[in-house]
Structure 1
Amino acid sequence: MPVVTSPDGTRIGYQREGAGPSLILIDAAGHFRANSPLGELADLLTTDFTVYRYDRRGRGGSGDTPPYAPQREVEDLAALIAEADAPTALYGYSSGCLLALHAAAAGLDVRRLVLLEPPLNTDGDEAGQRAFTAHLGRLTGAEAVTFFLTEIGVPEHMISGMRDTPHWNAMVSVAHTLAYDSLLSAATGPAVLARVTTPTLVLHSAGSTGDLTEMAATTAGLLPAAERRGLPGEWHGVPAATLAPVLTEFLRRDATRQ
């Protein structure tokens, strides 16, 4: 498995497939290459793009060097972008969107962004966010996963359906990284988005609840160069077969084949 090394020495595992302009896919909280819906999407995109998938730090084939900070994840992504022969496009799913936004705001060589339902919290409840992160950090394993999913609004019937499945067990294996996503969320606000001048497509699922749709709308409204679109899908998800042509059309508007 190829790796890149982040400035703090953390080794980040990744894979590369396809041909064309580079595109990096960024996973959501609790997800990594062996436990992700992005594999199916990647397969559909490799005819048009050189697709990079990687394990965010602390997950799968990547290392983890404490203490965590969102900037460390931006540095991880910068190392991968350098490996991908920038400029590159980024696709983020859920909390992966927040990392993509930080990367663009930090001035990394990103030419386009696509974000599926970024969990942007602009209610200003910093104390509540700190309490949530602190409590999450005290939990381990399945308790941490259950608490996190419940608090972010995953329907109870979906949580029940996940338990004792390979997907659930994989999330439990990286439960300590859920607090990382909480810290990333706390660090993402209007000031970050105002620095993102990259052309961005913000997507939401027609099957999602109003809070997720509203966060997508808020994100698009705060970005200087964004458009928004709804797609058919389930709660907090859109089928890969529906996503792939939308991503391809948006990302190829100004792309030149490498």
Structure 2
Amino acid sequence: MGQVVSKDGTAIAYTRIGSGPALIIVDGAMCYRAFGPATALAEALSEHFTVYTYDRRGRGESGAGTPYDVEREVEDIAALIEEAGGSAHLFGMSSGGTLVAEAAHRGVNADRIAIYESPMIVDGTHPPMPADLPARVERAVAEGRRGDAIKLFMRYVGTPGYFIAMMQVMPMWKKLKGVAHTLPHDFALTGEFQRGTPPPADRWSGADVPALVIAGGKSPEYMRNAQQYLASALPQAELTVLPGQTHMVKAKVTAPVLVEFFQR
């Protein structure tokens, strides 16, 4: 394990494997190096890239830093890029994709960026996020009800009730509760894009780098529509759809697409 110190002094833990151009993977909500898809994807990409996976602040072995601000997470990515030699490709999954777009927009030194299903609701094909949901999740965390915070989030993203019930008796539930306090961070990052209307066309005008936006072919219509909008809003983006994939995309499907894009 390595460690970098972000601009505000927060220690960010990372793992590096492989060789070749630097590629940083940015996790989505509640995921970190010990839990989530990043490790398997890093292994699949390590033949072609020096791959960095890291624990977003407040998760795993990284420090939290207070108070939370999206800019601090952008600074974390900038610190990792510096550690990688001053420039890197970025790939983000779910809210991690939102963070990648934001980091590029705010000027981190990214060569190319790729995003898998940034969570947005940009039209009427899905109800907008309830206005009180972030506050309800934050209150549950503040009151020590981390399990309730997870359930609120999972119900919102469409996880079936029977699966939520099963998860609570599985080892993964403890890992999820360990990072439940970071759910408000993801709402702070993505909330403006959950309103059922498209963001301003110039919202990511600063992200003027080659970009790939990826959607799953079996994902809901609203998610696919959102990725199409994001691809149109990023200055140099293209859209690709992976047949048969959902939001829980498989590394063996994603890796070849990323290799082809980042090696252009």
Residue 216 of structure 1 deviates from its aligned partner by 1.1
Unaligned runs of 5+ in 2: 194-198
**Counterpart residue number, 2:178:** 173
Instruction: Supply the RMSD in Å over aligned alpha carbons.
Output: 1.9
- The answer on 1:238 being equivalent to 2:249 is yes
| Contact 1:102-1:192 within 8 A present in 2 as well | no
Amino acid at match of 1:57: R
**Counterpart residue number, 1:252:** 263
| Contact 1:57-1:64 within 8 A present in 2 as well | yes
Matched position secondary structure for 2:222: helix
Amino acid at match of 1:245: P
**Counterpart residue number, 1:256:** none
Residue 70 of structure 1 deviates from its aligned partner by 0.4
Query: Separation in 2 of the partners of 1:162 and 1:234?
Result: 22
Residue 161 of structure 1 deviates from its aligned partner by 4.2
- The answer on 1:36 being equivalent to 2:6 is no
Deviates more, 1:114-123 or 1:217-226: 114-123
1:86 to 1:233, Cα distance in 2 relative to 1, 3 A: farther
Deviates more, 1:129-138 or 1:166-175: 129-138
| Offset from partner CA, 1:223-251 (integer Å, 9 cap, x none) | 12111111134431221111111100000
**Counterpart residue number, 1:193:** 204
- The answer on 1:151 being equivalent to 2:156 is yes
Residue 164 of structure 1 deviates from its aligned partner by 2.3
**Counterpart residue number, 1:51:** 51
Deviates more, 1:217-226 or 1:170-179: 217-226
1:167 to 1:215, Cα distance in 2 relative to 1, 3 A: farther
Q: How does 1:67-216 map to 2 (within 5 A)?
A: 67-122=67-122, 131-139=132-140, 140-186=145-191, 189-190=199-200, 191-216=202-227
* Identical-residue share of aligned pairs (%): 40
For normalisation by structure 1, the TM-score amounts to: 0.91
Amino acid at match of 1:131: D
Matched position secondary structure for 2:34: coil
After TM superposition, the runs of 4+ consecutive aligned structure 1 residues lying more than 6 A away are none
1:34 to 1:2, Cα distance in 2 relative to 1, 3 A: same
For normalisation by structure 2, the TM-score amounts to: 0.89
Amino acid at match of 1:207: K
Deviates more, 1:36-45 or 1:191-200: 191-200
Matched position secondary structure for 2:96: helix
Matched position secondary structure for 1:174: helix
| Contact 2:58-2:179 within 8 A present in 1 as well | yes
Residue 120 of structure 1 deviates from its aligned partner by 2.5
| Contact 2:121-2:222 within 8 A present in 1 as well | no
Amino acid at match of 1:211: Y
Q: How many residues align?
A: 251
1:154 to 1:194, Cα distance in 2 relative to 1, 3 A: farther
| Offset from partner CA, 1:115-153 (integer Å, 9 cap, x none) | 111112446xxx966622211100131100010111123
**Counterpart residue number, 1:25:** 25
Matched position secondary structure for 2:148: helix
**Counterpart residue number, 1:7:** 7
Amino acid at match of 1:142: G
Amino acid at match of 1:154: T
